[in-house]
Amino acid sequence: MDKYLNDVMAEELVLGEERAAVAKFGREMLDKGLTEGVGGNLSQRGADGKVAISPSGIPYGRIDAEDVPIVTTDAEHVEGELDPSSETPMHTMIYRERPDVGAIVHTHSPYATTFAALGEEIPASHYLVEFVGTEIPVAKFDLPGSEELGQHAVDALGDEYNGCLLQNHGVIAVGDTVEHALETAQMIEYTARIHYQARNIGDPIVLDDEEIEALIEGLDEYRNLK
């Protein structure tokens, strides 16, 4: 479909901008190699509190704004013909517990998921861990799509982290917008790759919390300048 027509249609939809962003950045998530097939999911919260979330089991290249379902933060499906992501309980639980979060991206990126399979947090062996916090923590394993998995993700994120690994599963990244959350997911994958490579050569030097916290203070300013 023509991009202009897509933009016009998005303007006429409930949460049109949010649904268009989910469609657009879902394709980018796949193009950047952060997931495979129909794996992963992403969402963005609207000003009214409702959430636009990727549909279940639909290839990202076939998703347009009108295909993106809307749910409440209690996981009630209120708009759209397609079923919302099976991970809706995890997304909505994070939104309920973190009012500062405007968007969530869940990926299966390979290097980060390797550490998730090991159940190992990723320390600050590269300064870009600042996108998440002083480290990248790990949430305990539970069945995909379950409330229990959502609770483990909430526990790992706490109030201070913008991302975590899901043990034996993948990655969660959060942000103000889907674009910011996807950028954080990219930085998690990059940091995981650097840590993996460094460990295969020797013992990575880990930056201390004070150094990372100083970097975190300048991150919002950096993003505003982009």
pLDDT surpasses 90 at 113: yes
Specify the number of domains making up the chain. Answer: 1
DSSP three-state, residue 72: coil
pLDDT surpasses 90 at 7: no
Residue-level pLDDT at 2: 44
Average pLDDT over residues 149-172: 98
CATH of the domain at 39: 3.40.225.10
What predicted TM-score, i.e. pTM, was given to this entire model?
A: 0.93
- Cα 89 from Cα 57, distance rounded (Å): 16
- Cα 156 from Cα 199, distance rounded (Å): 24
Whether 162 contacts 29, CB under 8 Å: no
pLDDT surpasses 60 at 6: no
Long-range contacts of 195-198 (CB under 8 A, 24+ apart): 195/115, 195/122, 195/123, 195/125, 195/126, 196/111, 196/114, 196/115, 198/125
Closest CA to 174 of 105, 85, 99, 79: 105
pLDDT for 47-96, tens place per residue?
Answer: 999 999 999 999 999 999 999 999 999 999 999 999 999 999 999 999 99
- What region does 31 belong to: left with phi over 0, alpha with psi -120 to 50, or beta? alpha
CB hemisphere CA count around 185 (13 angstroms): 34
Q: Which residues span the domain enclosing 50?
A: 3-225
pLDDT surpasses 50 at 213: yes
With pLDDT > 70 as the criterion, what percentage of the chain qualifies?
92
pLDDT surpasses 80 at 9: no
Active-site residues: which are they?
Answer: 87
CA distances from 16 to 19, 52, 103, 170, 203 (A): 5, 9, 15, 28, 48
Q: What percent of the residues of the chain are helix, what percent strand, and what percent coil, each to the nearest 5? A: 45, 15, 40
- Kindly indicate the confidence band of residue 225, based on its pLDDT and cuts at 50, 70 and 90: low
Q: What is the DSSP string of 123-189?
A: -SSSGGGGGT-SSB-EEPP--TT-HHHHHHHHHHHTTT-SEEEETTTEEEEEESSHHHHHHHHHHHH
Average pLDDT over residues 105-117: 98
> 226 or 40: which carries more pLDDT confidence?
40
Residue-level pLDDT at 219: 79
Provide the mean pLDDT of the chain. 93
Residue-level pLDDT at 1: 42
- Kindly indicate the confidence band of residue 216, based on its pLDDT and cuts at 50, 70 and 90: confident
Amino acid (1-letter code) at residue 4: Y
